[in-house]
A and B are shown apart, each in its own frame.
Chain A
Amino acid sequence: MNLNEEQIERYSRHILLKDVGVEGQMKLLNAKVLIIGAGGLGAPAAMYLAAAGVGTIGIADKDKVDITNLQRQIIHFTKDIDVEKVSSAKEKMNQINPDVEVKTYNEFLMANNIREIIRGYDFVIDGTDSFASKFLINDACVLEGIPFSHGGILRFDGQTMTVKPNDTACYRCVFIKPPPANVVPTCSQAGVLGAIAGMLGTIQAAEALKFITGVGEPLYNKLLSFDAKSMRFREIKFKKNDKCGVCSENAHITELKDEEQAACDLTT
Protein backbone atom coordinates (compact mmCIF):
# COMPACT_ATOMS: atom_id res chain seq x y z
CA MET A 1 0.00 0.00 0.00
CA ASN A 2 1.23 3.47 -0.86
CA LEU A 3 -0.14 6.86 0.06
CA ASN A 4 -2.30 8.41 -2.65
CA GLU A 5 -2.09 12.09 -3.51
CA GLU A 6 -4.95 13.08 -1.27
CA GLN A 7 -3.41 11.22 1.65
CA ILE A 8 -0.06 12.90 1.09
CA GLU A 9 -1.84 16.24 1.40
CA ARG A 10 -4.09 15.22 4.27
CA TYR A 11 -1.20 13.91 6.36
CA SER A 12 1.41 16.40 5.16
CA ARG A 13 1.96 17.87 8.63
CA HIS A 14 2.74 14.41 9.96
CA ILE A 15 4.90 13.55 6.98
CA LEU A 16 6.89 16.74 7.44
CA LEU A 17 7.91 15.54 10.90
CA LYS A 18 11.32 13.94 10.52
CA ASP A 19 10.45 11.31 13.17
CA VAL A 20 7.19 10.33 11.47
CA GLY A 21 7.49 10.79 7.70
CA VAL A 22 5.74 8.62 5.12
CA GLU A 23 6.84 5.49 6.96
CA GLY A 24 5.28 6.61 10.26
CA GLN A 25 2.07 7.62 8.50
CA MET A 26 1.89 4.20 6.87
CA LYS A 27 2.23 2.62 10.32
CA LEU A 28 -0.69 4.73 11.53
CA LEU A 29 -2.84 3.75 8.55
CA ASN A 30 -2.11 0.09 9.25
CA ALA A 31 -2.67 0.36 13.03
CA LYS A 32 -5.63 -0.74 15.12
CA VAL A 33 -6.51 1.15 18.29
CA LEU A 34 -9.42 0.39 20.62
CA ILE A 35 -10.94 3.19 22.68
CA ILE A 36 -12.96 1.93 25.64
CA GLY A 37 -15.48 4.58 26.62
CA ALA A 38 -16.85 7.25 24.28
CA GLY A 39 -17.02 9.81 27.08
CA GLY A 40 -14.87 12.65 28.38
CA LEU A 41 -11.54 10.96 27.61
CA GLY A 42 -12.58 8.82 24.68
CA ALA A 43 -14.18 11.73 22.77
CA PRO A 44 -11.04 13.82 22.18
CA ALA A 45 -8.90 10.68 21.80
CA ALA A 46 -11.24 9.34 19.08
CA MET A 47 -11.25 12.65 17.20
CA TYR A 48 -7.45 13.00 17.18
CA LEU A 49 -6.83 9.36 16.27
CA ALA A 50 -9.34 9.62 13.42
CA ALA A 51 -7.76 12.84 12.21
CA ALA A 52 -4.32 11.22 12.44
CA GLY A 53 -5.38 8.44 10.09
CA VAL A 54 -5.21 5.48 12.45
CA GLY A 55 -6.57 2.88 10.02
CA THR A 56 -8.87 0.95 12.33
CA ILE A 57 -10.38 2.47 15.44
CA GLY A 58 -12.66 0.46 17.69
CA ILE A 59 -14.92 2.31 20.09
CA ALA A 60 -16.80 0.61 22.92
CA ASP A 61 -19.58 2.09 25.04
CA LYS A 62 -23.08 1.01 26.04
CA ASP A 63 -24.40 4.46 26.90
CA LYS A 64 -26.59 6.93 25.03
CA VAL A 65 -25.75 10.61 24.79
CA ASP A 66 -27.23 12.65 27.65
CA ILE A 67 -27.42 16.42 27.92
CA THR A 68 -25.07 16.37 30.93
CA ASN A 69 -22.37 14.77 28.73
CA LEU A 70 -22.15 17.70 26.34
CA GLN A 71 -20.13 19.91 28.72
CA ARG A 72 -17.02 17.81 27.96
CA GLN A 73 -17.70 14.90 25.57
CA ILE A 74 -17.00 16.98 22.51
CA ILE A 75 -17.54 14.28 19.90
CA HIS A 76 -21.27 14.36 20.76
CA PHE A 77 -23.46 17.26 19.66
CA THR A 78 -26.79 18.57 20.95
CA LYS A 79 -28.60 16.80 18.10
CA ASP A 80 -27.18 13.47 19.36
CA ILE A 81 -29.05 13.40 22.68
CA ASP A 82 -30.51 9.89 23.16
CA VAL A 83 -28.37 8.48 20.31
CA GLU A 84 -25.99 5.58 21.10
CA LYS A 85 -22.61 7.07 21.92
CA VAL A 86 -20.74 4.71 19.63
CA SER A 87 -22.97 5.67 16.66
CA SER A 88 -22.60 9.36 17.41
CA ALA A 89 -18.81 8.96 17.69
CA LYS A 90 -18.54 6.93 14.51
CA GLU A 91 -20.48 9.54 12.53
CA LYS A 92 -18.07 12.32 13.56
CA MET A 93 -14.94 10.21 13.06
CA ASN A 94 -16.04 9.31 9.53
CA GLN A 95 -16.76 12.97 8.82
CA ILE A 96 -13.31 13.97 10.06
CA ASN A 97 -11.56 11.27 8.04
CA PRO A 98 -13.18 8.77 5.65
CA ASP A 99 -9.87 6.80 5.54
CA VAL A 100 -10.62 5.38 8.97
CA GLU A 101 -12.58 2.20 9.54
CA VAL A 102 -14.55 2.63 12.76
CA LYS A 103 -15.73 -0.51 14.54
CA THR A 104 -18.39 0.01 17.18
CA TYR A 105 -19.07 -2.12 20.23
CA ASN A 106 -22.39 -1.06 21.75
CA GLU A 107 -21.94 -3.29 24.78
CA PHE A 108 -20.66 -3.47 28.32
CA LEU A 109 -17.15 -4.83 28.55
CA MET A 110 -17.11 -7.54 31.14
CA ALA A 111 -14.84 -10.33 32.25
CA ASN A 112 -16.53 -12.71 29.80
CA ASN A 113 -16.13 -10.64 26.62
CA ILE A 114 -13.28 -8.14 27.04
CA ARG A 115 -10.40 -10.40 26.04
CA GLU A 116 -12.09 -11.39 22.81
CA ILE A 117 -12.83 -7.73 21.98
CA ILE A 118 -9.34 -6.34 22.66
CA ARG A 119 -7.51 -9.21 20.93
CA GLY A 120 -6.09 -8.06 17.60
CA TYR A 121 -5.75 -4.40 18.58
CA ASP A 122 -2.26 -2.86 18.77
CA PHE A 123 -3.08 -0.42 21.55
CA VAL A 124 -5.98 0.25 23.92
CA ILE A 125 -7.08 3.57 25.41
CA ASP A 126 -8.88 3.31 28.75
CA GLY A 127 -11.43 6.11 28.82
CA THR A 128 -13.67 4.53 31.45
CA ASP A 129 -15.01 5.89 34.68
CA SER A 130 -15.35 3.01 37.09
CA PHE A 131 -12.47 1.46 38.97
CA ALA A 132 -13.90 -2.00 38.30
CA SER A 133 -13.54 -1.26 34.56
CA LYS A 134 -10.04 0.17 34.99
CA PHE A 135 -8.79 -2.94 36.77
CA LEU A 136 -10.60 -5.18 34.28
CA ILE A 137 -8.98 -3.39 31.32
CA ASN A 138 -5.57 -3.52 33.00
CA ASP A 139 -5.79 -7.22 33.75
CA ALA A 140 -7.19 -8.08 30.31
CA CYS A 141 -4.44 -6.10 28.55
CA VAL A 142 -1.75 -7.70 30.72
CA LEU A 143 -3.10 -11.21 30.07
CA GLU A 144 -3.37 -10.50 26.32
CA GLY A 145 -0.06 -8.60 26.17
CA ILE A 146 -1.63 -5.47 24.66
CA PRO A 147 -0.16 -2.06 25.55
CA PHE A 148 -2.60 0.54 26.84
CA SER A 149 -3.00 4.02 28.24
CA HIS A 150 -4.66 4.60 31.62
CA GLY A 151 -6.37 7.94 32.14
CA GLY A 152 -8.26 9.42 35.08
CA ILE A 153 -9.74 12.80 35.85
CA LEU A 154 -11.43 14.28 38.88
CA ARG A 155 -12.50 17.87 39.49
CA PHE A 156 -9.42 19.87 38.36
CA ASP A 157 -6.92 16.99 38.34
CA GLY A 158 -5.81 14.41 35.84
CA GLN A 159 -3.45 11.45 35.72
CA THR A 160 -2.19 9.10 33.03
CA MET A 161 0.32 6.32 32.51
CA THR A 162 1.16 4.01 29.63
CA VAL A 163 1.63 0.30 30.19
CA LYS A 164 3.57 -2.21 28.14
CA PRO A 165 2.50 -5.46 29.80
CA ASN A 166 5.19 -7.41 31.61
CA ASP A 167 7.92 -4.92 30.62
CA THR A 168 6.67 -1.91 32.59
CA ALA A 169 4.63 -1.27 35.73
CA CYS A 170 0.91 -1.83 35.22
CA TYR A 171 -2.09 -0.05 36.76
CA ARG A 172 -2.45 -2.80 39.36
CA CYS A 173 1.25 -2.46 40.31
CA VAL A 174 0.44 1.08 41.45
CA PHE A 175 -3.17 0.94 42.64
CA ILE A 176 -3.22 -2.73 43.75
CA LYS A 177 -7.02 -3.15 43.99
CA PRO A 178 -10.18 -1.06 43.57
CA PRO A 179 -11.11 1.25 46.45
CA PRO A 180 -13.98 0.10 48.68
CA ALA A 181 -17.24 0.84 46.85
CA ASN A 182 -18.73 2.87 49.71
CA VAL A 183 -15.98 5.52 49.78
CA VAL A 184 -15.92 6.44 46.10
CA PRO A 185 -16.93 10.11 45.80
CA THR A 186 -20.63 10.44 45.22
CA CYS A 187 -21.94 12.24 42.19
CA SER A 188 -22.89 15.33 44.18
CA GLN A 189 -19.34 15.64 45.57
CA ALA A 190 -17.47 15.11 42.33
CA GLY A 191 -17.64 16.93 39.00
CA VAL A 192 -14.94 17.85 36.51
CA LEU A 193 -13.83 20.86 34.51
CA GLY A 194 -14.67 19.92 30.91
CA ALA A 195 -11.37 20.99 29.38
CA ILE A 196 -9.49 18.66 31.77
CA ALA A 197 -11.07 15.74 29.92
CA GLY A 198 -9.73 17.24 26.69
CA MET A 199 -6.23 17.64 28.11
CA LEU A 200 -6.08 14.09 29.39
CA GLY A 201 -7.77 12.37 26.43
CA THR A 202 -5.45 14.24 24.08
CA ILE A 203 -2.37 13.07 26.01
CA GLN A 204 -3.70 9.51 25.71
CA ALA A 205 -4.14 9.95 21.94
CA ALA A 206 -0.58 11.28 21.69
CA GLU A 207 0.72 8.26 23.61
CA ALA A 208 -1.07 5.93 21.17
CA LEU A 209 0.41 7.79 18.17
CA LYS A 210 3.90 7.69 19.75
CA PHE A 211 3.61 4.00 20.47
CA ILE A 212 2.49 3.13 16.92
CA THR A 213 5.11 5.25 15.19
CA GLY A 214 7.85 4.38 17.70
CA VAL A 215 8.59 8.04 18.30
CA GLY A 216 9.87 9.21 21.67
CA GLU A 217 9.32 7.59 25.04
CA PRO A 218 5.88 6.58 26.26
CA LEU A 219 4.84 7.27 29.86
CA TYR A 220 6.29 3.98 31.05
CA ASN A 221 6.99 3.40 34.74
CA LYS A 222 5.64 6.78 35.69
CA LEU A 223 2.37 8.50 36.39
CA LEU A 224 1.95 11.94 34.85
CA SER A 225 -0.27 13.92 37.16
CA PHE A 226 -1.53 17.46 36.84
CA ASP A 227 -3.52 19.98 38.79
CA ALA A 228 -5.18 22.43 36.43
CA LYS A 229 -5.75 25.01 39.18
CA SER A 230 -2.02 25.70 39.37
CA MET A 231 -1.43 24.09 35.94
CA ARG A 232 1.46 22.18 37.48
CA PHE A 233 2.48 18.84 36.00
CA ARG A 234 4.40 16.20 37.98
CA GLU A 235 5.85 12.84 37.11
CA ILE A 236 5.86 10.14 39.76
CA LYS A 237 8.37 7.47 38.82
CA PHE A 238 8.16 3.86 39.95
CA LYS A 239 9.06 0.36 38.94
CA LYS A 240 7.10 -2.87 38.56
CA ASN A 241 5.59 -4.06 41.83
CA ASP A 242 7.05 -7.49 42.61
CA LYS A 243 3.84 -8.29 44.52
CA CYS A 244 1.51 -7.24 41.69
CA GLY A 245 -1.53 -9.50 41.47
CA VAL A 246 -1.46 -9.76 37.69
CA CYS A 247 1.97 -9.00 36.23
CA SER A 248 4.53 -10.14 38.82
CA GLU A 249 6.08 -13.57 39.19
CA ASN A 250 3.74 -14.09 42.14
CA ALA A 251 0.61 -13.12 40.21
CA HIS A 252 -2.56 -14.89 41.30
CA ILE A 253 -4.85 -13.42 38.61
CA THR A 254 -4.80 -15.79 35.68
CA GLU A 255 -8.37 -15.27 34.56
CA LEU A 256 -10.74 -12.32 34.79
CA LYS A 257 -13.67 -11.76 37.08
CA ASP A 258 -16.06 -8.83 37.40
CA GLU A 259 -15.48 -6.60 40.44
CA GLU A 260 -18.16 -4.77 42.35
CA GLN A 261 -19.02 -1.51 40.61
CA ALA A 262 -17.99 1.75 42.21
CA ALA A 263 -18.25 4.79 40.04
CA CYS A 264 -19.69 8.20 39.69
CA ASP A 265 -21.74 8.81 36.60
CA LEU A 266 -21.45 12.58 36.80
CA THR A 267 -17.65 12.47 36.42
CA THR A 268 -17.92 10.75 33.06
Chain B
Amino acid sequence: MRLTINGKEETIEKNSVTVAQLLTEMNVEMPDMVSVELNGDFLERENYDGIEVQENDRVEFLYFMGGGSLIG
Protein backbone atom coordinates (compact mmCIF):
# COMPACT_ATOMS: atom_id res chain seq x y z
CA MET B 1 0.00 0.00 0.00
CA ARG B 2 1.08 3.53 -0.63
CA LEU B 3 1.40 6.07 2.15
CA THR B 4 2.78 9.57 2.52
CA ILE B 5 5.21 9.50 5.42
CA ASN B 6 6.86 12.75 6.54
CA GLY B 7 5.88 14.25 3.20
CA LYS B 8 7.43 11.47 1.12
CA GLU B 9 5.57 8.78 -0.85
CA GLU B 10 6.42 5.36 0.54
CA THR B 11 5.27 1.88 -0.48
CA ILE B 12 4.73 -0.70 2.26
CA GLU B 13 4.68 -4.36 1.20
CA LYS B 14 1.62 -5.11 3.33
CA ASN B 15 -2.11 -4.65 3.00
CA SER B 16 -2.73 -3.68 6.58
CA VAL B 17 -0.39 -2.36 9.21
CA THR B 18 -0.83 -0.78 12.64
CA VAL B 19 0.89 2.45 13.59
CA ALA B 20 3.20 0.46 15.90
CA GLN B 21 4.14 -1.91 13.05
CA LEU B 22 4.69 1.02 10.73
CA LEU B 23 7.12 2.58 13.21
CA THR B 24 9.07 -0.70 13.18
CA GLU B 25 8.81 -1.05 9.40
CA MET B 26 10.23 2.47 8.96
CA ASN B 27 13.12 1.69 11.33
CA VAL B 28 12.15 4.27 13.92
CA GLU B 29 14.64 3.48 16.67
CA MET B 30 12.73 4.88 19.63
CA PRO B 31 8.99 4.87 18.95
CA ASP B 32 8.32 6.29 22.42
CA MET B 33 10.17 9.43 21.34
CA VAL B 34 7.81 10.09 18.43
CA SER B 35 4.42 11.77 18.26
CA VAL B 36 2.38 10.39 15.36
CA GLU B 37 -0.03 12.48 13.32
CA LEU B 38 -2.38 10.45 11.12
CA ASN B 39 -4.36 12.41 8.53
CA GLY B 40 -4.19 15.52 10.69
CA ASP B 41 -5.00 13.90 14.06
CA PHE B 42 -2.45 13.31 16.81
CA LEU B 43 -2.57 9.83 18.31
CA GLU B 44 -2.17 8.76 21.93
CA ARG B 45 0.94 6.57 22.29
CA GLU B 46 -1.15 3.86 23.98
CA ASN B 47 -3.16 3.48 20.76
CA TYR B 48 -0.29 2.86 18.33
CA ASP B 49 -0.97 -0.89 18.56
CA GLY B 50 -4.66 -0.62 17.85
CA ILE B 51 -4.89 1.87 14.99
CA GLU B 52 -4.41 0.67 11.40
CA VAL B 53 -3.22 2.87 8.60
CA GLN B 54 -4.99 2.72 5.23
CA GLU B 55 -3.96 3.22 1.62
CA ASN B 56 -3.18 6.88 0.84
CA ASP B 57 -3.00 7.90 4.52
CA ARG B 58 -0.77 10.79 5.45
CA VAL B 59 1.50 10.01 8.41
CA GLU B 60 3.92 12.32 10.21
CA PHE B 61 6.47 11.16 12.75
CA LEU B 62 7.32 14.13 14.97
CA TYR B 63 10.34 13.53 17.18
CA PHE B 64 10.58 14.77 20.73
CA MET B 65 13.55 17.15 20.90
CA GLY B 66 14.82 18.75 24.09
CA GLY B 67 18.20 20.31 23.94
CA GLY B 68 18.26 23.75 25.47
CA SER B 69 19.39 24.20 29.03
CA LEU B 70 18.54 21.81 31.87
CA ILE B 71 16.52 24.03 34.09
CA GLY B 72 13.70 22.49 36.06
Chain A residues in contact with chain B, CB under 8 A? Answer: 36-42, 60-63, 73, 85, 108-110, 126-134, 136, 151-154, 157-159, 173-177, 179-180, 183-185, 192, 197, 223, 225, 234, 236, 238-239, 241, 258, 261, 263-265, 267-268
Contacts and interface: CB of A to CB of B under 8 A. Distances in A.
B15 to A, nearest CB: 27
Contacts of B42: 173-174, 176, 238, 241
B33 A42 contact: no
B72 A42 contact: no
Nearest to B41: A241
Contacts of A238: 37, 40, 42
A223 B63 CA distance: 11
B26 interface: no
Given A40-B67, A159-B63, A263-B66, A176 B33 contact: no
B44 interface: yes
Interface residues of B, number: 24
> Does more than half of chain B's interface fall in helix, strand or loop, or is it mixed?
loop
18 contacts: A37-B71, A38-B69, A39-B70, A41-B69, A42-B68, A108-B71, A131-B66, A133-B72, A151-B68, A152-B65, A153-B68, A154-B66, A175-B35, A225-B62, A236-B37, A238-B42, A241-B41, A241-B42
